[in-house]
Chain A
Amino acid sequence: MKISESSPARRLLGLAYGLVAIGLILLFSASKGIFTRPVAGIFKGGGVFFWQQLLWITLGTGALVGARRFPYRNFRRLVWLLYPVTIVLLVLVLSLGHGRASRWIRIGPFNFQPAEFGKVVLVLTIAAYLAENDINRIAVFIGSLFLAGFPAALIFKQPNLGTAMILVLICLVIMFQAGLSLRRLLAVFITVLVSSPLLWITMEPYQKERILTFLWPQRDPLGRGYNLLQSKITIGSGGLIGKGYLHGTQTKLAFLPEYHTDFIFCLLAEEFGFIGVAIFLGLVYLFLREILSIIASTRDEFARLVASGIFGIFFLQTVINISMTLGLFPVAGIPLPFISYGGSFMIVALLSVGILANIAENSVMF
């Protein structure tokens, strides 16, 4: 098949790398600030993060190229290997990890988070399962919930409430796309709502704190509510045109913690103002729109469901991450796709874009 100059795959790649570029620009600014978090006991200079991210992008681009070339239909067979491996890795993280949050596995010089890779594997697995089975059969419905619920429970145990929640939501997006009746979907939501007190009991104290802090941020303005308040101050003080690139005070002076990872949207809002935010959200809209148009033009059910799951990852993480910085959602520790500093998710994101490009190029019927 001949690919025209402005094919969906090219547009998708262009938009994705546009977002990656914005992320690098922001990380460079962040690296000019001082970092509050001591790495191995010493205050690490910020420049490290910029260069490391560049490395992740390179690795991620490799993954993207590979995923784009790989006959995507083979994924369908591969999941029976990938899914169990992911589960094993998640169990390993739990048993190897020490300290409060055990999320990483160390491989040579790299720390990698199985949970991030688990997102893509889960998308492929559930897509493969639902491409062959009718979601509106009770057994299939429960089966796919179990497929998502098992890794989600392991991740929840880490503890990482945010990612566990994302996993379940992605599963729901795919199920919806597979034709799950709205009534069933509603039933799932109601079940979750009813069982939430049970969830509350099993939550770690810090997770309870985060939710309480979200509901009543004034509870403790210098303690747990600090991030939320500082996040809002950072965004609000950006104004219409922002404080100028490299001139953010909130982030540079480290009033806002984690401004290179989960709160990097604040840096954008502070230095580029409302105009910057509007342009960024516009780009995100075009990117998500592009994925949805690929989904709409795909005839292959497996490919359609995979693309829907990936859409779910990008859409949910973007909206939840930004909502969190704007004080619309509890602080959940979910990175902003393409923008936040972090290796595992950057690779996963670019890999996912590769799969989408693959689908756009190979399963679209004109």
Chain B
Amino acid sequence: MDQEKLLVNLVKISLGVLLLRSLYLQIIRFPYYSALSKKQSIRTIEIGIPRGKIFDRNGRVLAEDEPCFDLVFVPYDLKHPAEEAALVARYVSLEESNLKKIFTRQYRNPFDRIVLKKALTPEEVASISENAFQLPGIFVQTGIKRRYVLGPAAAHLIGHLGEVSEEQLERWKDRGLKAGDVIGQDGLERYYDDILRGVPGGILVEVDALGHHRRILGEKEMQPGDDLYLTIDLSFQKAAAESLGENEGCVVAMDPRNGQVLALVNYPAFDPEDPGKSLFKPGKPFLNRAIQGQYPPGSVFKIITEVAALETMTIEEHDRIECQGEMTVGDVIFRCWKEEGHGWVDINLALPFSCNIFFGTVGMKTGVSKILDYARLFHLGQPTGIDLPGEKSGLVPETAQSGGPLNIAIGQGALLTTPIQLLSLLSTVANGGNIWKPYLARKVVSGNGKIIRDVTPSLLRTAYVTGETMEILKRGLKNVVAFGTGGAASVPGIAVAGKTGTAQRGTEETGFSTHGAFACYAPAENPNIALVVFLDRGASKQAARIAGSILKKMLLPLEERGNGESSLSPEEENENF
């Protein structure tokens, strides 16, 4: 019959299709599915990713891993989530309602261990262990935690760790990251994450779909990350943090002979071991002011105005101008900070006294575009290239948007600089014109002591300025501290050269106050330290005082300054010429 024939053909075709489909899946796609099958049944139980250590220039530890005790739980093994949450909340500083939520959530793999809290205190470990019988499914296990020797005092410099975000996973696909990995989230930890982060080791186990370990297949050795040696001097960093105290602002210092950054401190800061708790604190504790804060440079910029005026021969060393405290340009009244005026001053007096009338007048004569050209010559308006994430470029405006020669000449108007740019400017003056790239990582050393990378100073550019101009400028900067506005920065027996800077901050609504800055180098004749102190709100005098206190700690022998830390050691003095 026709119908049966049709049915036989239907059977043949249907079973034929099934056979061909099996052939496709089992023969042609076999490598693909076989790999998938193996991958999902073998899992590595990670013991933790050991990170490389971070050392200061003298080999003193700044950051390292250390063993700790973590509180973990296995969702499947919890017997009474509510009671256990209450009990845990009593002994460990965790919120009860939060715990309850975590305990009662649905987990794809309820047999996996989940970390509730890292790095328990000894008391917490004791309380949890004592009550273990009431806490089925909750226990203490050993883990790794990052210890930061200087804590908040180096928070922005070193950075902190954190779980990789989904966005980062997407962006850094090729870095071998997976969800849940801990990576550097700020500062050097982030910038050098690839170097510091090791390859996780662990035990290879065969698991079933529930995560039960069926058998151990082998062990994968972990590969610790490489160690990082910095240009930072732990003593300098400490001294800077101490002297800055609780003033909102930052201190950054480097060796003007090579660009090695010696200290970088910001306040307010966060606790790098527990950054989460500072998230909502006022004062932007995560802002790395030294490289990310963009402020009007104020009178520090008179250095550029002076160089521009002298180099373009707009004025000569002994040209004098009378300051009467104010002057009228068009219908604008332009005031000096000193109401009664400085009288007749030449450039040798105008810089130490920071006379606005003198520099305003000189600025008008020189012209905005010339001044801005010199600002660019000294590498302002672009990032210095320091090896930290998120550096800002500041702003050297176009002539038309600058706000006029009077403002530009005294570092106001549309100009913006970061503290590290001012530091770079002072270093360039200190060494006579070499613009070194500031850097923090000096070498990378593997776990077995092999030097993997050796970083040498890198010259960005040379700002060619005539010897006479340099000499006049340097003398002026020295006199700023000797008898001018920067007297508070003086150090007995050692000549310090620097420049104060004050700029208006705030708006009509928030109320006006000033930024205070002091940028300097020392010793004036043979400088090995360049230093910038910047205060969010405060006078430049205060900034100068802080700079002086830091310089005393670093330059004077112990007995001559009463108390404090050791200075740069003699061999350090010679090391980097």
Contacts and interface: CB of A to CB of B under 8 A. Distances in A.
Interface of A: 34, 36, 176-177, 222, 232-240, 249-250, 252-255, 257, 269, 273-274, 277-278, 281, 284-285, 288-289, 292, 295-296, 311, 315, 319, 322-323, 326-328
A292 B5 CA distance: 9
Question: Considering residues B10, B22, B38, B206, which has the most beta carbons from chain A within 10 angstroms of its beta carbon?
Answer: B22
Contact of B18 (A177, A292, A322): A322
B210 A36 contact: yes
B11 to A, nearest CB: 5
Q: For chain B, which range describes its interface: under 10, 10 to 19, 20 to 34, or 35 or more residues?
A: 35 or more
Contact of B22 (A250, A253, A269, A285): A269
A335 to B, nearest CB: 16
B41 A249 contact: yes
Nearest to B108: A222
A284 B3 contact: no
Interface stretch (B29-37, B66-74, B129-137, B429-437): B29-37
Contact of B8 (A34, A252, A292, A326): A292
A239 B30 contact: yes
Contacts of A296: 1, 4
A239 B40 CA distance: 17
Interface in B1-46: 1, 3-4, 7-8, 10-12, 14-15, 17-19, 21-23, 25-27, 29-30, 32-34, 36-38, 40-41
A236 B35 CA distance: 10
A325 B517 CA distance: 73
23 contacts: A36-B210, A177-B3, A233-B36, A235-B26, A236-B29, A236-B30, A239-B34, A240-B27, A249-B37, A253-B209, A274-B22, A274-B23, A274-B26, A277-B22, A281-B18, A285-B12, A292-B11, A296-B1, A322-B18, A323-B21, A326-B21, A326-B25, A328-B18
B220 interface: no
Given A36-B209, A237-B30, A274-B22, A288 B36 contact: no
A208 B145 CA distance: 48
Given A274-B22, A285-B15, A328-B17, 17 more contacts: A177-B3, A232-B33, A236-B32, A236-B33, A236-B36, A237-B37, A239-B27, A240-B27, A257-B209, A281-B18, A289-B8, A296-B4, A315-B10, A319-B14, A323-B18, A323-B21, A327-B21
B205 to A, nearest CB: 11
Contacts of A36: 209-210
B75 to A, nearest CB: 15
B41 to A, nearest CB: 5
Contacts of A176: 3
The 5 closest A-B pairs by CB, nearest first: A236-B33, A237-B37, A253-B208, A274-B26, A236-B25
A94 to B, nearest CB: 30
Tell me what chain A mostly uses at the interface: helix, strand, loop, or mixed. helix
Nearest to A296: B4
A240 B210 CA distance: 28
A186 to B, nearest CB: 14
A323 B210 CA distance: 27
B212 interface: yes
Given A253-B208, A322-B18, A239 B26 contact: yes
Contact of B26 (A236, A253, A284, A311): A236
Contact of B33 (A235, A295, A323, A326): A235
Contacts of B207: 253
Nearest to B11: A288
A322 B18 CA distance: 7
B461 interface: no
Contact of A253 (B3, B30, B214): B214
Given A253-B207, A315-B11, A233 B22 contact: no
Contact of B7 (A233, A252, A281, A292): A292
B37 A234 contact: yes
Contacts of A269: 22, 26
A253 B212 CA distance: 9
A237 B33 CA distance: 5
A311 B4 CA distance: 11
B11 A326 contact: no
Contacts of B41: 249-250, 253, 255
Contacts of B8: 289, 292
B19 A278 contact: yes
Contacts of A311: 7
Contacts of A252: 208
Nearest to B17: A328
A250 to B, nearest CB: 6
Nearest to A270: B37
A289 B11 contact: yes
Tell me which of A237, A238, A323 has the highest count of chain B C-beta atoms within 10 A of its own C-beta. Answer: A237
A235 B209 contact: no
B4 A326 contact: no
Given A284-B15, A319-B14, A34 B208 contact: yes
A285 B11 contact: yes
Contacts of A238: 26
Contact of B34 (A237, A289, A292, A326): A237
Contacts of B212: 34
Given A255-B208, A289-B8, A235 B40 contact: no
A177 B23 CA distance: 33
Contacts of B33: 232-233, 235-237
Contacts of A328: 17-18, 21
Interface string B75-108: 0000000000000000000000000000000001
